[in-house]
Amino acid sequence: MTDRIDRRVVVTGAGMVTAVGNDVPTTWEALVAGRSGTATVQAFEATEDFPCRVAAEVTDFVESDVVDAKDARRYDRTSHFGISAAIEAIRMAGLEPGRLPDPDRFGVIFGSGIGGIATFEREHQKMLDRGPNRVSPFFIPFFIPDITAGLISIHTGARGPNYATVSACASSAHAIGDAFRAIQRGDTDRCIAGGCEATITPMTFAGFSAMKAMTTRNDEPEKASRPFDAGRDGFVMGEGSGAVVLEELEAAQARGATILAEVVGYGVTGDAYHITSPPPEHEGAQRAMREAMRDAGIGPDDVDYINAHGTSTPINDEHETIAVKKVLGDRAYDIVVGSTKSMTGHILGAAGAIEAVICAQVMRTGTIPPTINFETPDPACDLNYAHEGAIERDVRVTLSNSFGFGGHNVCLAMRRWDGD
């Protein structure tokens, strides 16, 4: 075994479920083409009482394609997404559920910002309508945010470290970062890491709308998410999951795995400022990016692409732009700072993992997806956001930003795998 300190960690598998595709190839094709996954809400009757009536919903997803019919009926939608992405990642890594190598050294760290909210709303209404004795015995197990990590372990046989990260929209970025650290220091050799979210429900829409956080651009759903555009007015809620298989480098090489990328840095900070708003110039984000770069041993000139948090909210996009410029200096104007949330919507606790997979794809293919729906320049957002379409560019190092309510900031640094 290699030294227990600073072991190298690589990505050998990836999985995604998004509004533009139920796997990595389909999602990637749609992102490069600049296709929006946003439409009028279908999950519930979003009447005019709801200020926001659009969402980026997953379509054509069949739960029984992933688990058996009994489990398909019981599990919350968020867990179905998580299990699907995890199994895709495992198979892309050349492994099979139930036949994992050294399963006691194979962990699952999987986050969710909210958990099984649809289950909560359904069972709460059942109690109000029919009394407490009619509440399902599966209510608690399938509502709690950690259950998807447990279910992935059950469905794959991974018996190493197993837990959930819950830090709002930074949840799955924390999961990948924690898995990176666990492997790096020798606590485990392999890990399924990521996150899932399925929050397109009346209560979540009502809550986020009450905060004035969501778009009210209901007449043109596909154009509602417009990060860094002067006309942005709030985020579009998405749903889905992202997952990666991380392995210690020598363990991956020993079994002949195809390496997709290397995780090289993890920056994590807290704002200590406000429950929902970033501090001036997104100081916490600056520290997270600097820490990820310090951890990776890279400087501003090494960074080629940033997958921004880029939520399409007036405050985030301006302050994230300032933070990037503070950290990278003049280099900020030479790179692309894109937001794929313009197409997938904001998938809350799953966003960071999905965007980490996108970073790996960018480095592998040399293609940067566009940030769609640009119409009006914002003088405060003056970087290259790939507003004119996909960009072909050699990308060796990426950063991925994720920020959550409560002041949680994560930056993941990844490097292209060139065989060394």
Residues 37, 244, 347, 65, Cα dihedral to 10°: 60
**From CA 289, how far away is CA 268, in angstroms rounded?**
8
State the alpha helices, DSSP H only, in 15-76. 24-33, 69-74
Tell me which residues are annotated as active site: 169, 309, 346
Beta bridge partners of 240: 197
Strand-pairing partners, residue 265, are 413
Residues 6+ apart with CB under 8 A from 264: 295, 296, 297, 298, 397, 413, 414, 415
* SS3 label, residue 88: helix
Rounded CA-CA distance 29/377 in Å is 27
DSSP secondary structure, 111-179, as one string: E-SS-SHHHHHHHHHHHHHH-GGGS-TTHHHHHSTTHHHHHHHHHH---S-EE---BTBTHHHHHHHHH
Give, in order, the Cα–Cα distances in Å from 346 to each of 40, 199, 282, 420. Answer: 15, 11, 19, 35
Nearest alpha carbon to residue 376 among 237, 219, 227, 222 = 227
Query: DSSP states of 289-336 as a string?
Result: HHHHHHHHT--GGG--EEE----S-HHHHHHHHHHHHHHHGGGGGTSE
Q: How many residues does the chain have?
A: 420
Q: Which run of H or E residues covers position 190?
A: strand 190-197
CA distances to 214, 271, 273, 315 from 277, rounded to whole Å, are 14, 9, 8, 8
> Could you give the CA distance from residue 407 to residue 287 in angstroms, rounded to a whole number?
12
Kindly give the pairing relationship between strand 305-307 and strand 54-55: unpaired
Q: Of 28, 29, 30, which is closest to residue 15 (Cα–Cα)?
A: 28
Please give the DSSP secondary-structure letter assigned to residue 102. S
Cβ distance 353 to 78 under 8 Å? Answer: no
